[in-house]
Amino acid sequence: MENGASSYHRYLEGDNRGLTELVNMYYDGLVLFLNTWLNNLHDAEDMAEETILVLTTKKPAFKGNSSFKTWLYAIGRNVTGKYIRKNHKAVSVAPEEMMRLADQEQDAAQDFFADEEKQALHRGLSRLRPEFRRALWLKYFESMSAQEISVVMNKSVHSVNHLIERGREALREEMNKEGFHERSW
């Protein structure tokens, strides 16, 4: 049993350290993945917290049909999709709050993407179609297989492979615009 599944199983049996381990293992990656849907780090953090809340309140059964991480990210996708559908109207945000949130997201990105090339990669990813961005994020930053990505994104493996290939082409174009050439993005 992988670490996440083992920690979750222990949590379900009453060991709260299992939940702490899950949060430590998956929270940051989950936030960054959910941010590919929301483009708002604050909302992504809220949705990650909601995802953890689902684990603590509904205690869904992990059946082991995928990796624990894949299962957790799929729950996060569902929670985020529900949030997006419920809040589909644009929310008016004061300009100073928008600037603060943008600065906060940029700070998080700079911490995560330490060097210039990685920052350019982040900027390039942010300009891609959302489905390309999500597929590439899961493949290259979360090291998921096409099969796992298909579960998280609720798409066929064929569709995922197509998204990854088209996303790589689009990212290559974006990186060329940033001045980074001759690399297999």
Contact 167, 128 (CB under 8 A): yes
Tell me if residue 110 falls in helix, strand or coil: helix
Instruction: Report residue 90's pLDDT band, with 50, 70 and 90 as the boundaries.
Output: very low
Residues 42, 46: Cα–Cα separation, whole Å? 6
**Amino acid 89: pLDDT:** 47
pLDDT in tens, 33-84: 999 889 889 999 999 999 999 999 999 999 999 999 999 999 999 999 999 9
Amino acid at 99: M
**pLDDT surpassing 60 at residue 88:** yes
State the pLDDT at residue 66: 92
Q: Is the distance from CB of 76 to CB of 134 less than 8 angstroms?
A: no
pLDDT digits (tens, 9 = 90+) for 66-77: 999 999 999 999
Name the residue type at position 25. Answer: M
| DSSP-derived 3-state class of residue 120 | helix
User: What letter represents residue 177's amino acid?
Assistant: K
The predicted structure's pLDDT at residue 119: 74
Residue scoring higher pLDDT (185 or 137): 137
Residue, of 79 and 117, whose pLDDT is higher:
79
Q: Which residues contact 47 (CB under 8 A, 6 or more apart)?
A: 34, 38, 76, 79, 80, 83
pLDDT tier at 118 (50, 70, 90 boundaries)? confident
Judge whether 77 and 154 are in contact, CB under 8 Å. Answer: yes
Query: How far apart are alpha carbons 59 and 47 in whole angstroms?
Result: 17
pTM listed for this prediction: 0.76
Return d(Cα 136, Cα 127) in angstroms, integer. Answer: 13
Q: Catalogue the long-range contacts made by 176-179 (C-beta closer than 8 Å, 24 or more residues apart).
A: 177/124, 178/120, 178/123, 178/124, 179/120
**Helix, strand, or coil (residue 122):** helix
Average pLDDT, the chain: 86
